[in-house]
Amino acid sequence: MLLKISWRNVWRNRLRSGVVIAAIALGIWAGLFVMALSVGLNNQRTRSAISTTLSHIQLHNPAYLKDSKVANFIPDGEHVTQVLEANPQVKAFTTRMIVNGMASSSAGGFGVSLNGIDPEKEARVTDIHDHLTEGDWFAEGKRNQVVIGAKLADKLKVKLRSKIVLNFQNEQGDIVAGAFRVAGIFKTVSSQYDESTAFVRMKDLEGLLGTPGQFHEVALLTSGLDEVQPVKEELKAALPDLEVRAWKDVSPELGYADEMMNTMLYIFILIILMALGFGIINTMLMAVLERKRELGMLMSVGMNRVRTFSMIVIETVFLSLIGGPVGILLGWATISWVHSKGLDLSAVGKGLESLGVGAIIYPELESGIYFNIAILVVVAAILASIVPAIRALMYKPAEAVRGL
Amino acid sequence: MSIIHTENLTKTYDSGAVKVHALNDVSIDIAPGEFTAIVGPSGSGKTTLLNIIGGLDTPSSGRIVIDGTDITRLSDGQMIDFRLNNIGFVFQSYNLIPVLTARENVEFIMLMQKWDKKKRETRATEMLQSVGLGDQIDRRPSQLSGGQQQRVAVARALASGPKFVLADEPTANLDSASTSNLLDIMANLNAQLGTTFVFSTHDQRVIDRARRVITLEDGKILSDETR
Ligand SMILES: Nc1ncnc2c1ncn2[C@@H]1O[C@H](COP(=O)(O)OP(=O)(O)OP(=O)(O)O)[C@@H](O)[C@H]1O
Ligand SMILES: [Mg+2]
């Protein structure tokens, strides 16, 4: 019956309870939506970084990471290839020969990281080929083609089919050079990457360096983000001589951003809940104040402290728990709906591109978060109920009934 | 053997400069089955006396013994349970829980005493019938008249079989028809069940119905007559 009384008490002042319930629902709804927006933004940033440049896992000769000179190839490349082919969780991989050199045109010479790749294999791992603004991802049959970033093309003042000269040191430290024709120009979200990266066919680069079958880097995709860590461990065990790094190791700031985002979001939700909590406290204090005589009467006829306290706590929890699920449901519905459509922020967010994401945001939230928020709402409700419940206990029956 | 025994009760309110002697050396004995009115002008100490007898307030000095128990020695928590199990209360107003029906209100004390549901419901219905509200058991207080609400309060006070019922001006807010109706019901229950009633009042018609009248003035017993 205590439950019945508390429940009915919630509806005694419909307007006031309604306002509180609406505030809770709206607060949680807004909180969830902002969370989902941030998570979506962050995930898009991470996904785009992974798909254009990072891939899931990279393999190197540890020496190459310290000193990126040509001689620090991945040892026993054939074995490495076999290991990767044998692992069912490795969806695709690409090998790269990377040398640092200079790209020059009549406009001058600029430092460049030159990637010798197999265009087809590369396309299965990264999506640079989808970022071409002009030209092709290498044309069939033609030799000495280069695909460069838009920023580099600007600096070199070259266009499609222009010739540029690439020169760099070979294994012995001798300078070698080759003339390449621009086959394509790409533009990713990172202008720094576009300024310093060029792709050529592995075969052409091998020819200049005279090192067939060698490579410095392997980039691979696993069957899903959840597989990255286990596959990393497997590869580490199978290839003890290599440095095996997951995308988070290669670009730790992305991982930090993930963690920081989570912490920030919980702080954000806590702030919202705190504000709501004060609203709840205020409302319930008013209710307790209004009911001074009734509470005094109940205590007079023998309602003990535990029951009095529980009655107010239960009422507060009811009040909070009506709004909670409504807010969570609304939030979930909005997020799912907007997720399916995408939220076009191009009008307000010109800077989004520089963050590494497109102008269209797809909000998303893990289902676990909804659950955590539900728990937090309950905790907040119970905390908020303590003050009014204590207030109710402070009434002295004789004084409370005297005013009758 | 008295059911209510008070010994030299005094209650002094010390509000800064002035000391109010709300009760001054009040000793009374009330036997089971009595139908007693506490009367006296406003401020004479009626409410104070009833509150102290009912354990809602503590005296400045003196003792109250209820059916052999010295309630001045009980802790706050023990006092609440004592009230629950031994004393029925009827106040002037705000007696009922507005969100419960008449029957649920009557059940409330039995519920806190942990009666089982069936017994509670039967007893509540029975009690409401005995105060003439058998056809209103599912109404909320707001759907009942003031007199009917007071009758529900009387039914509640009696339902769990307390040792006695204290009623502080139970008819103060009632018109004369409702007043005499409530008094009829109280007198009836007193006669039939032997329930002890102690009630305060200003109202001469109510005083006329009492079998014992204790008159207070300035916190002292002015007269105590049994008719
Ligand atoms: N909390 C308090 N503080 C100070 N004085 C009080 C307090 N409560 C009651 N009094 C005083 O004690 C005296 C007795 O009050 P009490 O309420 O018992 O009178 P009463 O006979 O019930 O009066 P009424 O007929 O108006 O209800 C009064 O003078 C009153 O002003
Ligand atoms: Mg009074």
Domain ranges in chain A are 2-49+254-400, 57-223
Q: Which ligand has the minimum distance to the alpha carbon of residue B51?
A: 1
Complex confidence, ipTM:
0.93
**Domain with B179 in it:** 4-94+154-226
Contact B57 A398 (CB under 8 A): yes
CA-nearest of A257, A302, A269 to A372 is A269
Write out pLDDT tens, residues A47-92: 888 998 899 999 999 999 999 888 999 999 999 999 999 999 999 9
Round the CA-based radius of gyration of chain A to a whole number and report it. 32
Nearest-neighbour CA in chain A from B10: distance (Å): 16
Write out pLDDT tens, residues A149-187: 999 999 999 999 999 999 999 888 899 999 999 999 999
Contact B54 A404 (CB under 8 A): no
Which residues, including other chains, have CB under 8 Å from residue B221's CB and lie 6 or more apart? B26, B27, B28, B214, B215
| pLDDT by residue, tens only, chain B of 227 residues | 799 999 999 999 988 888 889 999 999 999 999 999 999 999 999 999 999 999 999 999 999 999 999 999 999 999 999 999 999 999 998 899 999 999 999 999 999 999 999 999 999 999 999 999 999 999 999 999 999 999 999 999 999 999 999 999 999 989 999 999 999 999 999 999 999 999 999 999 999 999 999 999 999 999 999 98
Q: B224 CA to middle of ligand 1, Å?
A: 21
- Total structural domains within chain B: 1
Q: B13 CA to middle of ligand 2, Å?
A: 15
Q: What is the CATH number of the domain that holds B191?
A: 3.40.50.300
Residue B115 placed within a domain: no
Pocket of ligand 1 (CB under 6 A): B 13, 15, 20, 22, 40, 42-48
Contact B51 A401 (CB under 8 A): yes
Q: Which of A43-47, A69-73, A144-148 has the lowest mean pLDDT?
A: A43-47
State how far Cα A165 lies from the chain centre.
39
**How many CA atoms lie within 13 Å of A7's alpha carbon, on the beta-carbon side?**
5
* Whether residue A404 has pLDDT greater than 50: no
Residues of B with Cβ-Cβ distance to A398 under 8 angstroms: 51, 56-57
B89 in A contact zone (CB under 8 Å):
yes
State how far Cα B135 lies from the chain centre.
25
Contact A294 B94 (CB under 8 A): yes
Neighbours of ion ligand 2 (CB under 5 A): B 46-47
Residues of B with Cβ-Cβ distance to A402 under 8 angstroms: 47, 51
How many Å apart are CA A378 and CA A42, to the nearest integer? 28
Q: B89 CA to middle of ligand 2, Å?
A: 14
Bridge partners (DSSP) listed for residue A245: A58
Whole-number pLDDT of residue A269:
87
Best A291, A295, A298, A301 residue to mutate vs chain B (most B CBs within 10 Å) = A301
Residue B124 placed within a domain: no
Bridge partners (DSSP) listed for residue A178: A166
Residue B22 placed within a domain: yes
Write out pLDDT tens, residues A10-28: 999 999 999 999 999 999 9
State how far Cα A199 lies from the chain centre.
28
Residue B168 placed within a domain: yes
How many Å apart are CA B215 and CA A335, to the nearest integer? 74
**Which residue from B9, B46, B56 has its CB within 8 A of the most atoms of ligand 1, so it is best to mutate?**
B46
Q: Are A256 and A46 in contact (CB under 8 A)?
A: no
Give, for B127, the enclosing helix (H) or strand (E): helix B117-130
The amino acid present at A132, given as its one-letter code, is L
Contact B84 A401 (CB under 8 A): no
C-alpha to C-alpha distances, B9 to B24, B26, B39, B83, nearest whole angstrom: 6, 5, 17, 19
* Whether residue A203 has pLDDT greater than 60: yes
